[in-house]
A and B are shown apart, each in its own frame.
Chain A
Amino acid sequence: MAQSRSSKASSAAAGSTGDYPPFSQRHLLSIADLQPYEIIDLLDRAEKMVPISRQERKSHPTLAGKTQINLFFESSTRTQGSFEIAGKRLGALVMNMAVKTSSLSKGETLIDTAATLNAMRPDVIVVRHSAAGAVELLSQKVGCAVINAGDGAHEHPTQALLDALTIRRQKGRISGLTVAICGDIANSRVVRSNLLLLGALNVRTRVIAPRNLLPAGIEHLATEVFTDMRKGLEGADVVMMLRLQHERATGRMIPSVREYYRFYGLDAEKLAFAKPDAIVMHPGPMNRGVEIDPAIADGPAAVITEQVEMGVAVRMAVLDALLPAGDNTP
């Protein structure tokens, strides 16, 4: 498995990304804002970024002279690191705002922060915030591009894009596949972005969770809803596991980790219900033994490290799309 387009793409690799018409969005706030052709466009652009990260000199400085600020109100080593590497490989000056040590923890409002950062004239701000809609609010108050790196339980668009890119490279296509997403559906921004993206590309989407981890109205967002994991996995091409915030959930949302693992943890027995060539994904960080058996997480079906690699490519593509070369408007 897993041949697909990577070899083809690498020949076009070093080539410019200028073959594309200008990306029509000013920000990347949510998958809901994107048309299917824009999603495909971003995936194609990301595909061309993959070889850059595989070169010896991982540099493609289309963003030289541009300033990128990573503003993470919630700490996230991997997403922040991924955006930082993406920006640096494109030659941008990347600055990480350490929120906990700044005035942000002293009661300055989000709007004040936006105004302050805006005055430093960045070209793009990458924002993660614990409140849904916070990134969009910030985007209304600044003159540069804003990328949503996760806002509450709302959206995490670059995660959905990197998942789609991983699926496309593994399966050679996206349309027509069956993707099962399992875990804490209620509190996951990854699920919302994925359902929107996959839905836009004609994927049969399934969500699997105990009833109390399913949000109201989910049946209108996913093609099918399951509480029985085996039935939900039947015939799936892709199995996406979600992280269970078990420190927070135990006692409130679920009685115990062992019960959760018994019914909703992915092990070989349950995975056998999916298609034989099904791939297993996880947005990380994983809780081995909580939502996934270590043997599966590190086994042949897992494409979790490829997801991380595609994350850098997707973020390079998004930065490149939002900041076309030569555009120095504030």
Chain B
Amino acid sequence: MTQPLLIENARIIDPASGMDHRGAVLIENGLIADLSTGGPVGVPDGAEVVNAKGLVLAPGLIDMRVFTGEPGKEYRETLASAGQAAAAGGITSFVVMPDTTPPVDDGALVDFLLRRAKATSAVNILPAAAITKGLEGKDMTEFGLLKEAGAVCLSDGRKSIQSTALLRTAFSYAANYDMTIVHHLCDTDLAGNGVMNEGLFATILGLMGIPIEAETIPLARDLQLALLTDVRYHAAQISTAYSVELVAAAKKRSKRITCGVSINNLALNENDIGRYRTFFKLSTPLRCEDERQAVIDGLRNGTIDTIHSDHDPQDVEVKRQPFAEASDGAIGLETLLAAALRLVHSDDVDIKTILRAMTSRPAEILGLDSGRIAKGAPADVILFDLDYPWQVTETQIRSRSRNTSFEGARLAGKVMRTIVGGQTVFSHETETAT
């Protein structure tokens, strides 16, 4: 058994219960053994006592959308390197997307991922299994067997299924096993050769645009099919005002409909592309400021449930290219919390709402026991300094790829300690001491 750990004098924020209070947490045997917001907490013999004065204690973050290169493209990212990056970013669990080589479309691969994750990574890695074989958007995978193997949800990752008939069948079959469908939204025909948000800025740069309708048309279709089949449906990431409207309307009719947003669409807009900066080439594309503001509204009013990093490691070879020819994606595990806290510091969103979208809401959607500070819950917790100023530099990146959309960014808010199942997997002190 590990040494018991008492964290006292922390500002405990637990979005699940609504708690935001000074208090102490006792961690023992991988669980939150006790919790106090006033009275004394019994300190077991030999416990490590941490005075967390000035720090926030919150549930560890749960990131619903992470890509790695394992198996197949380990030079981009392994489960181990992604795990280290996650730990440094205060992420104690993440869903790994099935877009690997080969794709995770078979129970044996889910099993492989779980074993590799356990052997090489200190954080919880939750595999998402493909909806269609080979992520080809044609034939369904074995949902039941994938669930048995340990898949936490079904998703075709970066791919968006185009066939309405196939989606209907898949939604209905997923409902049969009570599995959540997480679907990326892109009408590939309408998006065409588009490489960024359609509008004046794309026109000035001479780049082909992707209209917002390439997102809202498949979203409207998915929502109707979700209502028809009563599946647990999670729109992977939305980015437009009209998408927020569509989801809000559908949510009135079903409690099983949820949606997420990438931190990139919350914190950045298309102007960040500047002169063809490919680290800002993303799918879902960065939109204009009006759409970003609408998405922030959607987060504030609860239409948007979750915030994720959309961590997508890409190497120099595919990123240092002309914009239209470069790969999509940016890493984000290490910057997720601090980038989200930008919205808190700018008074756009309160801290509890921000944390809820990265803790209790994803836990509820995925059916996890974590994501909350409560007696008996898994001891997946983080301590962070809400105001700690730092600058993102290439040298400090733990991910194997360096394609961060926050390079050079000045951020406020840093994880001081990350605890997974009672074990400290990251400590700011030891990191800075070495």
Contact = CB atoms under 8 A, between A and B. Distances in A.
Contacts of B204: 32, 192, 217, 221
20 contacts: A32-B204, A109-B321, A111-B320, A132-B207, A132-B276, A132-B324, A133-B207, A137-B320, A137-B322, A151-B322, A153-B206, A153-B207, A155-B206, A189-B206, A192-B203, A192-B204, A216-B209, A217-B200, A218-B203, A220-B200
A154 B203 CA distance: 8
A254 interface: no
B202 interface: yes
Nearest to B276: A133
Given A137-B322, A155-B206, A217-B203, 18 more contacts: A131-B324, A132-B205, A132-B206, A132-B207, A132-B322, A133-B205, A133-B206, A133-B275, A133-B322, A134-B322, A152-B206, A152-B322, A192-B203, A192-B204, A215-B209, A216-B200, A217-B201, A217-B202
B323 interface: yes
A243 interface: no
B328 to A, nearest CB: 15
B199 interface: yes
A211 to B, nearest CB: 14
A223 to B, nearest CB: 15
B369 interface: no
Contacts of B321: 109-110, 137
B394 interface: no
Interface string A193-232: 0000000000000000000000111101100000000000
B317 interface: yes
B207 A137 contact: no
Interface residues of A, number: 24
A103 to B, nearest CB: 16
Secondary structure class of chain A's binding surface, majority of residues = mixed
Interface in B204-232: 204-209
Interface residue tally of chain B, by bracket?
Answer: 20 to 34
Interface of A: 32, 109-111, 129, 131-134, 136-137, 151-155, 189, 192, 215-218, 220-221
B198 interface: yes
Contacts of A154: 205-207
B139 interface: no
B324 A137 contact: no
A221 B203 contact: yes
B206 A192 contact: yes
B387 interface: no
A32 B208 CA distance: 19
A151 B206 contact: yes
A137 B276 CA distance: 8
B129 to A, nearest CB: 33
Contacts of A132: 205-207, 276, 322-324
Given A132-B324, A134-B322, A137-B276, A216 B203 contact: yes
